């Protein structure tokens, strides 16, 4: 659930969000380093992000990482701060983003189902070893299925909210 929510936050909508840059890795002295470890990220305006690196000599690497991240953003700097204007996405881009978010939601659902499958296998193993009876197994399976359904429903709700946020003009 949390992983899916974090993935959703990294998708660009019309508004600026510091979470947008969470997955960006900067080549810093030969080591890929998360951008948030190298700089302070602020949102001074609804359509602008500012990145203030702790080490001003890393500005070029930060700009390169943002350009290569396929976020569709063009950074500019004044020697101390990198500015990222967030353009309003076109209707076509919004539809692409909705498809991306739906894919992320499906990955989340699959992850929840994989956990259910692993738990079911574990329950079967316990029954085979004689540690748990059939009635207890059925009760546990019912409980696991209910939890799975709840989490899938929560992912669907997150998806609905994110789609509305993306399509909002």
State residue 156's pLDDT score: 93
Sign of CA dihedral 114, 119, 123, 125: positive
The predicted model gives 144-153 an average pLDDT of 94
Cα 33 to Cα 23, 89, 105, 159, 169: the distances in Å are 10, 28, 27, 30, 34
12 pLDDT higher than 70: no
**For the residues 97-108, what does the mean pLDDT come to?**
88
Please tell me the predicted confidence (pLDDT) of residue 118. Answer: 94
């Amino acid at each position: 659930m949390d992983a899916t929510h974090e993935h959703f936050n990294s998708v660009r909508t019309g508004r600026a969000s510091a979470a947008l840059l969470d997955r960006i890795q900067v080549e810093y002295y030969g080591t890929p380093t998360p951008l948030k470890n190298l700089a302070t990220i602020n949102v001074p305006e609804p359509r602008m992000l500012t990145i203030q690196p702790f080490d001003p000599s890393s500005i070029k690497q930060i700009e390169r990482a943002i350009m290569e991240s396929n976020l569709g953003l063009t950074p500019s700097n004044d020697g101390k701060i990198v500015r990222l204007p967030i353009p309003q996405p076109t209707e076509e881009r919004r539809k692409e983003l909705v498809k991306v978010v739906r894919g992320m939601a499906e990955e989340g659902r699959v992850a929840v189902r994989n956990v259910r499958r692993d738990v079911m296998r574990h329950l079967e193993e316990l029954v085979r070893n004689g540690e748990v009876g059939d009635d207890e197994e059925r009760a546990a399976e019912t409980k696991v299925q209910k939890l799975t359904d709840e989490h899938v429903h929560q992912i669907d709700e997150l998806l609905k909210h994110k789609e509305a946020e993306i399509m909002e003009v």
